[in-house]
């Protein structure tokens, strides 16, 4: 009868408003949760068939929960370089395990990017989930697969070993004095029998020739060892724009199979009439016009010259940038000698760029790319199912995920040193709290009134 349907409608109102209260409570409780997405219970009426004409049977109301997962929260700056936010569409891919991931381990999706480096070196957020990314090989290549989550691994920034970079380039900014007089020893100079390398080794005029000017530099070998290399010059008597030059190691025992006393190469360095270097006619690196590069063979090989066999290091090519080596009428001086390369270093920091490339920073100033964060997108993000830890799982309604590089194919860019705020509007939630309370009280009044009417009906029989 209609009174019973009214009572049941009141019960449905209590149930629906209880759900609404629960959703509002969750929202308010998570006002400060990173990247939390607000929930809302929307109401829909229930219509029942009217069995008797002229009599109305109440259907009541049902509460339908809606998640606003696709709504982006305000992105604000954070203190840590590993705090990350996605500006645009997409989700971080995370797991509950760091090491030893298998295909059976579940992957979930989140926008909560409050990651930090744990004691094992993994990037893990406040909910305990480990960030996933594609490993970057030593040659900089990445194996992408947009549909295979198992291609991603938990990102670790500590288990990398030490970083060593052998010297490959040396920039020299120096001046040789145009006014330099030709020394008397120049007449007897011979790079094979009276070399400048011999003078460096022995300081004996009988076996070596004292250079007019020397530039010294440190180079790093393939295992991080440091060696001193010198480039010496002697003014030539044959041409006012010509200098004898040698490159050699100090001490000489670092080099084997080369010229005397650790000599690596010898020849002429030529200058133009305006004082700039003339690499076309320079023979220090071989034939005239040869690239300004020296090649050192690996220890234990037959290459000449090579690193000494006792050092046990690999082959190495070193290119010299001599564009700023000049011959002007001013004192010979070295302005800058800048060899690259780095000795052994350990990780001291982590940085992430907008494309999601995670790099380790070493204390020897080296930066090594480790992994690229994968960003998962869905056709209908609001169809995802929420799970604990402010994360989500894919459903039929959400559609299949596609893993993309940040900033490509509709995926958002990654903003380092930022966090996404909760989408909860506290004033709107308090307003909803009041209206829900009133609606709940009104629904309870329906039940009270229907109960009184039933009492009247029962009393009619007395």
Instruction: Supply 383's token pair.
Output: 């169809």
pLDDT in tens, 347-388: 778 899 999 999 988 877 778 889 999 999 999 999 999 999
Chain centroid, CA 82 distance in Å: 9
pLDDT in tens, 2-60: 787 788 888 888 888 888 899 999 999 999 999 999 999 888 888 877 666 667 778 77
Q: What is the pLDDT of residues 414-427, one digit of tens each?
A: 999 999 999 999 99
Determine the Cα–Cα distance for residues 197 and 207; give it in Å rounded to an integer: 10
pTM: 0.68
Over residues 214-236, the mean pLDDT reads 95
Q: What domains does the chain contain, in order, with CATH numbers?
A: 2-68+423-459 (no CATH), 75-161+346-420 (no CATH), 164-344 (2.60.98.20)
Q: In this predicted model, what pLDDT tens digit does every residue of 233-250 receive, in sequence order?
A: 999 999 999 999 999 999
What average pLDDT does the chain have?
A: 90
pLDDT band with cut points at 50, 70 and 90 for residue 206: confident
- Report residue 88 as tokens: 């645009």
Which has the higher per-residue pLDDT, 393 or 3? Answer: 393
* pLDDT tens-digit map of 135-176: 988 778 888 888 888 889 999 988 776 667 899 999 999 999
Output the DSSP codes for 232-275: EEEE-SS-TTEEEEEEEEESGGGEESSSGGGEEEEEEEEB-TTS
Q: Which long-range contacts (CB under 8 A, 24 or more apart) does 275-278 make?
A: 275/178, 275/326, 275/327, 275/328, 276/326, 277/322, 277/323, 277/325, 277/326, 277/327, 278/241
Lowest mean pLDDT among 162-166, 177-181, 335-339: 162-166
304 phi and psi angles, rounded to 5 deg: -135, 125
Phi/psi-derived region of residue 407, left when phi > 0, alpha when psi is between -120 and 50, beta in every other case = left
Q: Is the pLDDT of residue 440 over 90?
A: no
Tell me the residue length of the chain: 462
Provide mean pLDDT across the span 76-87: 92
- Please answer whether residues 271 and 239 qualify as being in contact, where contact means their C-beta atoms are separated by less than 8 angstroms: no
């Amino acid at each position: 009868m209609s009174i019973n349907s009214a009572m049941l409608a009141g019960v449905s109102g209590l149930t629906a408003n209880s759900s609404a209260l629960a959703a509002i409570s969750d929202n308010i409780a998570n006002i400060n949760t990173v990247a939390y997405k607000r929930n809302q219970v929307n109401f829909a009426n229930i219509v029942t068939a009217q069995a008797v004409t002229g009599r109305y049977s109440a259907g009541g109301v049902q509460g339908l929960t809606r998640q606003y997962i696709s709504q982006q929260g305000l992105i604000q700056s954070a203190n840590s370089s590993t705090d990350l936010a996605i500006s645009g569409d997409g989700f971080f891919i995370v797991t509950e395990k760091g090491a030893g991931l298998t295909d059976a381990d579940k992957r979930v999706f989140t926008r909560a990017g409050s990651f930090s480096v744990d004691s094992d070196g993994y990037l893990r957020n406040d909910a305990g989930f480990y960030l996933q990314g594609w490993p970057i090989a030593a040659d900089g290549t990445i194996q992408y697969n947009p549909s295979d989550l198992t291609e991603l691994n938990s990102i670790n920034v500590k288990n990398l070993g030490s970083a060593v970079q052998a010297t490959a380039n040396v920039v020299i900014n120096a001046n040789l004095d145009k006014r330099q007089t030709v020394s008397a020893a120049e007449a007897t100079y011979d790079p094979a029998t009276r070399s400048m390398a011999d003078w460096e080794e022995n300081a004996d005029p009988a076996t070596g020739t004292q250079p007019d000017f020397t530039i010294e530099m440190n180079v790093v070998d393939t295992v991080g060892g440091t060696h001193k290399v010198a480039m010496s010059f002697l003014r030539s008597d044959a041409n006012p724009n010509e200098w004898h030059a040698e490159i050699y190691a100090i001490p000489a025992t670092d080099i084997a199979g080369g010229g005397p006393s650790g000599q690596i190469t010898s020849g002429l360095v030529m200058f133009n009439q305006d004082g700039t270097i003339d690499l076309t006619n320079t023979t220090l690196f071989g034939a005239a016009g040869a690239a300004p590069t020296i090649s050192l063979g690996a220890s234990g090989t037959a290459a000449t010259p090579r690193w000494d066999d006792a050092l046990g290091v690999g082959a190495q090519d070193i290119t010299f940038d001599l564009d700023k080596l000049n011959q002007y009428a001013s004192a010979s001086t070295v302005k800058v000698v800048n060899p690259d390369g780095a000795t052994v270093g350990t990780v001291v920091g982590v940085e992430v760029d907008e494309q999601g490339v995670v790099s380790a920073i070493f204390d020897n100033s080296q930066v090594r790319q480790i992994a690229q964060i994968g960003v998962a997108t869905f056709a209908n993000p609001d169809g995802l199912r929420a799970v604990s830890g402010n994360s989500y799982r894919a459903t039929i309604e959400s559609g299949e995920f596609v893993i993309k590089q940040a900033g490509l194919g509709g995926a958002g860019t990654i903003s380092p040193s930022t966090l996404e705020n909760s989408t909860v509007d506290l004033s709107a939630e308090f307003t909803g709290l009041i209206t829900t309370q009133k609606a709940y009280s009104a629904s309870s009044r329906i039940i009270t009134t229907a109960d009184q009417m039933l009492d009247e009906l029962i009393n009619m029989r007395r």
